Amino acid sequence: MRTLALAALLLVPSLAHAADAEQPGEKSVALFDGKTLDGWKVEKCEVEVRDGCIFLKAGNGWMYTEKQYGDFVLELEWKALKTEAFDSGVYIRAEERPEKANWPARNQINLRQDLLGNIKEIKEAVARPEMAKPGEWNQMRVAVIGTTATLELNGKPAWKIDGLKRPRGYIGLQCEVPAGGQFLFRNIRITTATRTAIGS
């Protein structure tokens, strides 16, 4: 039942954007309260809250949710403070970062300007760099059901893929300030089927 309910959000994007869009057995929550970093862990980088946004300030590392998620719809807004050669990323179903690495090995939706929206280990997950608005706020919506996922950027479909291998994992934000500049994130919400979040 919960898989069917979330599948409706995957197949009918308007349901995710409408008010009171939750279906029976689903739960929509803010992953960021606009005031604190409660619910997140930060590794190998500097992150702070600025004007109601997550501000990736310095370092090569990442921040990630304390909970792991399976099937979900994730919505957020991001803004690169550089207008060119910017670089960050959003992780879905990520594993823990290897001890000697700066970031997890897989499932990063790239926010690098020339690779925008791509997941490098899944060849079908390729978007178009021109879908981003440099120096402005951009919207992202990613829906994940089983081994499949869809991505929308600024309200437009980017791709639909099959091939996710991890059944659940962390939601994360990549910080790559030395090479890719500072980023802001806000309005981060996730809709999950009841009990799909570990620890909820």
pLDDT tens per residue, the chain (200 residues)? Answer: 445 445 545 544 433 443 334 455 688 999 999 999 999 999 999 999 999 999 999 999 999 999 999 999 999 999 999 999 999 999 999 999 999 999 999 999 999 999 999 999 999 999 999 999 999 999 999 999 999 999 999 999 999 999 999 999 999 999 999 999 999 999 999 999 644 443 33
**CATH domain 30-191 topology:** Jelly Rolls (2.60.120)
**Residue 170, token pair as written in the block:** 């962390």
CA proximity to 28, closest of 41, 15, 37, 40: 15
Each domain of the chain, given as residue ranges in start order, spans 30-191
Name residue 82's amino acid.
K
Q: Which residues contact 28 (CB under 8 A, 6 or more apart)?
A: 21, 22, 189, 190, 191
